Structure 1
Amino acid sequence: MATLEEPIEIGGVRIPNRLYRAPLLECAGNGPDAVETLIDDLEPAAASGVGLIFQGATIVRADGGCAAPGMTRVHDPAFVSRLSRLTDRIHDHGGRIFVQLEHGGLRSMETWHAEHRRENPDLEQLAVSRPPWQLRVLDRIGALSYDPHVLSTDEVYDLAADFGRSAAYAVEAGYDGVHLSGANMGIVQQFCSPFYNRRDDEFGGSPEARLEFLALVHDEIRDRAGDVALTTKVPAETPAPPPPLVNRTLSLEDGVEMARRLERIGYDAVVPVLASVVWDMSIVRGEYPDRAWENEALREGYDAAFGGPLRRRLVALGNRLESVAYDFEPAWNQEFCRRVRERVSIPVLAEGGVRERETIDRLLDPNETDGANASGPACDMVGMARPFYAEPRLGARLLEPEEPDARVICESCNNCTVPQVTGAPGICRTPGVLRRRGELERKGAYDRG
């Protein structure tokens, strides 16, 4: 039986244990304090013993492509070289760090952020294909604003080269691996998804062709960054709106087959995740964040982002409805991960709704059963995201052998996530959770022996 404390290799990189901090929005930007902000956000996890740190989505181009304010860009080698201070700090604690590369495509702020559009009227909305009719309807009623530039074949090659260049800069700065944001409705998922991808060149049409962008990005990274550990998220679009609203999506079996092809292409690990075709709470399941929406200090930022008080209220209403549709479910990606792991030989990483050590042990257990039949482990590593907002040094508790029943204090209330549309940092804002963290700190729960 693999245990959380056992080491594992991904693409030749030895990781000291099987716990990872999943990608989050650090909101560090690229200003003079960016590196210090990233160190403040990420080092505590490594100091607490977490084996692998994923730096959250970083953008591969100088302009556009950010899904939220304050995302860091890694297109500039001079800036990325400064991130060696971050990678050194992670390595000092014995941890490893991968950078997540991203471009938002039609999820970018150029589409949804009202103030950003006004201040940057010349920024193009990059699209894989003409937006589906469902999104065009949202444009007509004023819910979103689409004026997309559909990438030509040559421009697809240029975008893949940007991923490769950014990966090379990151490796030079000491990152141990590269992780592609292949889900959460970013441009990589848009290439893979039949909902978005209606291209008629080599990057569209068949399921194999829709995966060609990831194959091209793989080749660009290998050519420019060498034999770096390379991982990606793999989406299954099962949480998407039901027919007839959406008919063409990636099924669970499509996701399994994608993972198999990615292994053949040369990816070193995959992270299977259930993802919608629209930006909703399927990736952050849990409670309606009433505290965040009622925060008067954030109201002006919400109005700037969504285009005024009326739209803010409509978005909040949508958020409330989604919290009912996507109520919290423990380890909600586990079945997808297990099905992928049965078909590939590379490591499978599981995240989403993991909240206690018991769940971690079950996901890693080769004797785990599905009904009457032994079905084997669901994954090879287990990650958490939002719980690290609540407990930056969470690893010390989860990796403590004398606390086998450890459970995170995060309540999945989402009061940490919604404020990020204003550029606010990703931090826990729930008083009860913060009080509990203070109690644990006073007891020395985050001190490593």
Structure 2
Amino acid sequence: MAPQLETPVEIGGLSLRNRLYRAPLLECAGNGPDAVDTLIADLEPAAASGAGLVCQGATVVRGPGGCAAPNMTYVDDPAFVEELSRLTDAIHDHGAAIAIQLEHGGLRSLETWHHGYRSEHPDLQQLAVSQPPRALRVLDRLGLLSYDPHVLSTDEVYELAADFGRSAKWATEAGYDIIHIAGANMGIVHQFCSPFYNRRDDEFADGVRFLELVASEIRQRCGDVPLMTKVPAESATPPGVGPHLSEADAMKICERLEKAGFDALVPVTGSVIWDMSIIKGEFPGRAWSDEGFSAGYSEAFGGPLRRRLAAAATWLDSRLYNYEPAWNSGLCRRVRERVDVPVLAEGGIRTRGEIDALLGTDCDLVGLGRPFYAEPRLPARLLEAPPETAVVCENCNNCTVPQAAGEPGVCRTPAVLAEAGRLRKAGAYDRLQSGESATQVDDS
């Protein structure tokens, strides 16, 4: 019998109360004096409303540089990471577990694409697995990107893996239950795995070797803390661009990572470049036309003309990558048939009926991301719900584009916000726990 969403599950010996998790998102909390409070405000509602696992979005293991978007959080300072115990305590108080996703952007960092950041940090180089591929060097010559990479030596690769291990140690000491490696979405871990980026001639020419080394570093410092990672298949790569990771390649990587000690895997499809294959859905016209973001877009992309070019590229992407319900489910199912660790599915899952169809066949846990921007207490509606229950998110992507201008990830679509407000007034997000009062629910 297939498990239900409400059925408990284990990851690496850690028991989760159910199989619903908040997938990693950009919290844009930074490292300032309000960073921890911002993270609590973003993440605690998911735990309070019933999620079994809450994943903090990508946090960077080494500075300066390495952030893929403005206002990402660094976890390279043990004093700051210790403060995050307030966040983990808040999640645990509601009976949920929390994972932290460790990241470094490599060639996808702000110092590549954000013109304002590059101007403020002219001496900052990208960390690179190899010299940028030819297609990206063309974009550099056209002035659309800016590359000045530092290709990591073999010794420096070992040191970068140690940075992942050190950040993981500080995180577990701060109370994080799971270490989640950002192995996809074109970050540096993905770049090691991808033949599009990796043309090394040392032991790390086998890019999975870097993930194995990261796992070893974490195990040495953190013992048996549950460890998971995203695994990319670059199956959405535009024709003629490559080489790239096929779905067969991704399945082989998953088999190796299980042997390397990873306790859970998150297979995802995408491209070799940062595009809408990651999020799919409609062209975010409202976000691009909002005058309140124009100055931020111009700073990021290098002026009004380049802002318009970026908008046009997003429009084209939206035509290439239409929204598909549960778009990673096929890859997840094939991986699940070949490994014995839990497989987590995320990407385009929007109804309780889809969740019920996925569990036990395609995956063992189900994650949702962008819908939480409109419904921070979404689990209260999905748990113990009929199959027709659906999120209010319309996949319009107006939540994502403003993040390039340094704006927080929130829903900005009036119709969606109105429906979420109606549900809130109707009590759809109320979920009383032991020791919790109705006043506390309303205040959250």
Q: TM-score, normalised by structure 2?
A: 0.96
Query: 2: CA distance between counterparts of 1:400 and 1:434?
Result: 23
AA aligned to 1:437 is: A
Structure 1 position 380 matched with structure 2 position 381: no
Partners in 1 of 2:133 and 2:220 — Cα distance? 34
> Offset of 1:446 from its aligned partner?
0.2
Equivalent in the alignment of 2:442: none
Match of 2:7 in 1: 6
d(CA) in 2 for partners of 1:3 and 1:383?
A: 14
Query: Quick check: 1:331 aligned with 2:326?
Result: yes
Q: In 1, Cα distance between the equivalents of 2:387 and 2:232?
A: 32
Instruction: Quote the offset at 1:67 in angstroms.
Output: 0.2
Shift of 1:227: 1.0
Structure 1 CA distance, aligned partners of 2:147 and 2:157?
A: 20
Take 1:236 and 1:282, find their aligned partners in 2: how far apart are those partners? 11
In 2, Cα distance between equivalents of 1:248 and 1:430: 38
3-state SS of 1:212 partner: helix
Q: Deviations over 1:320-361 (max 9, x none)?
A: 000010110000000000000000000000000000000000
Distance 1:133 1:83 in 2: 41
Aligned twin of 1:265: 260
Secondary structure of 2:267 counterpart = strand
Shift of 1:283: 0.7
Match of 2:375 in 1: 391
SS in 2 for 1:421: helix
**2-side partners of 1:392 and 1:146: how far apart?**
38
Corresponding residue for residue 368 of structure 1 = none
Match of 1:311 in 2: 306
Q: Mapping of 1:49-448 within 5 angstroms?
A: 49-204=50-205, 209-243=206-240, 246-365=241-360, 377-401=361-385, 403-448=386-431
Distance 1:430 1:349 in 2: 29
Q: Distance in 2 between matches of 1:422 and 1:161?
A: 32
Query: Equivalents in 1 of 2:196, 2:15: separation in Å?
Result: 38
- In structure 2, the gaps of 5 or more residues are 433-444
* RMSD between aligned residues: 0.7
Structure-2 separation of matches of 1:425 and 1:408: 21
State the Cα distance separating 1:422 from its structure 2 match.
1.0
Structure 2 distance, partners of 1:219, 1:284, is 31
Question: Structure 1: how far apart are the matches of 2:246 and 2:257?
Answer: 16
Structure-2 separation of matches of 1:162 and 1:121: 24
1:18-47 deviation per Cα after TM superposition (whole angstroms, max 9, x unaligned): 000000000000000000000000000000
Contact kept in structure 2, 1:272 and 1:337, CA below 8 Å? yes
Equivalenced residues, count: 431
CA contact (8 A) 2:6 2:384 kept: no
1:121 Cα deviation after fit: 1.2
- List alignment gaps of at least 5 residues for structure 1: 366-376
For residues 108 and 404 of structure 1, the distance between their equivalents in structure 2, rounded to whole angstroms, comes to 40
The 1-side partners of 2:384 and 2:286 are apart by 33
Contact 1:110–1:125 (Cα < 8 Å) also in 2: yes
* Runs of 4+ with >3 A deviation: none
Residue 374 of structure 1 corresponds to none
1:185–1:275 Cα contact (<8 Å) kept: no
